[in-house]
Amino acid sequence: MPPADVRLRLERAGYRLVGEHKHSAVKVCHWTKKSLLDRGVCYKEQFYSGDLGVRSHQCLQFTPSLPFCDHRCVFCWRDTSLTSSSWFGEADDPEDIITEALAAQRLLLSGFGGNPDVNRRKFEEAQNPRHCAISLAGEPTMYPKIGDLIDECHKRGMTSFLVTNGQHPDVLERLPDPTQLYISLVAPDSDTYEKTCRPVRPGGWERLSKSLDLMSSFSCRKVIRLTLVKGLNLKDPVGYARMIRRTDADFVELKAYMFVGFSRKRLKMENMPSHSEIKTFAEELARELGFSVAGESEQSRAVLLRA
């Protein structure tokens, strides 16, 4: 359980810690709120609403491992000084985590019920999320019951997007298929990886490489995610392509680093690429991979490539 002062700081930032041991948390996404007001939707809805039915106003953004991560990525908007590089303490059951996360989400959204500008149909639908985004903070594969958590999402009729940093290939080897598996690949080589991800344990590049090789064993949809920082890892599309070819990925998501949160203590505004820079790099990577550009969101500075 995070210390009381840390919990208070997180709650003031919009987080709600759930479960008996408070290692899980939910936070309503900016795009969930925008969607309720009919002012836009997340790029995931733009990219995946057709075949997966992902809708921003019915997305539950949560994590089962808020205080745990073995990367200290320079681009992370979170306060990485608060996270532990190894799991300790007891782990709550997945059923309890999701039940309490859903209750917390409804409470966080309750104020929208009195707003005359809110889309009433969407507000009612938002009471029953249909999509679990297991990506809020921390590294979810450090949670000892992550496979059971994915199963619990599916038992409740919800899709699951799992985002991992690839540091736990042993977990991936026995993981049930989520609806969509993301592995973050934010460097084309080991030196850039060390500078960008600042792994806490030695051997991080080798563990990531093993996870990339394991990706083809999954039968679910597979996505490689690139968060790109100008002057750091926005380079070498040939190197990225060489790594991505090993994964049998269905999609590649390229996303610009955004100058927000605690990342502002580590980087500068000049490190944030423009959408045109992301699109140009995406087109170069697409040519290397033989992929096609399947979508883009200028607001989010994101581009989707499809195999």
Closest CA to 86 of 133, 136, 144: 144
Residue 45, pLDDT score: 83
Contact indicator for 256, 234 with CB cutoff of 8 Å: no
Instruction: Give domain limits for the chain.
Output: 4-306
pLDDT of residue 229: 97
Separation between Cα atoms, residue 94 and residue 135, nearest integer Å:
15
CA distance 293 to 285: 10
Task: State the pLDDT at residue 191.
Answer: 97
pTM of the model: 0.91
DSSP annotation string for 263-285: GGGTS-GGGS--HHHHHHHHHHH
- What pLDDT sits at residue 87? 87
Written out in words, the top-level CATH class of the domain with range 4-306 is alpha beta
- The token duo for 83 is 């996270």
DSSP string of 55-120, one letter each residue: -GGGEEEEES-TTB-S---TT-SS-GGG-BSS--S----HHHHHHHHHHHHHHHHGGGGG-TTS-H
CA 306 to each of CA 237, 275, 286: distance values in angstroms, whole numbers, following the listed order: 16, 18, 8
Return the pLDDT at 51.
67
Q: How confident is the prediction for the chain on average, in pLDDT?
A: 92
pLDDT, mean of each 10-residue run, the chain (307 residues): 72 86 92 92 80 84 92 89 84 96 94 92 93 92 96 95 96 96 96 95 96 96 96 97 96 95 92 96 97 92 94
Q: What pLDDT does residue 46 have?
A: 82
Distance, CA of 249 to CA of 25 (rounded, Å): 29
**Interatomic CA distance for residues 167 and 103, integer angstroms:** 31
Q: Strand 292-297 to strand 302-306: parallel, antiparallel, or no bridges (unpaired)? A: antiparallel
Q: How many CA atoms lie within 13 A of 89 on its CB side?
A: 14
Contact status, residue 233 vs residue 203, Cβ threshold 8 Å: no
DSSP 142: G
Contact 123, 112 (CB under 8 A): yes
Is residue 20 within 8 A of residue 45, CB to CB? The reply is no
Q: Are 260 and 77 in contact (CB under 8 A)?
A: yes
DSSP-assigned letter for residue 176? P
Between the two ends of the chain, the Cα-to-Cα distance in Å is: 42
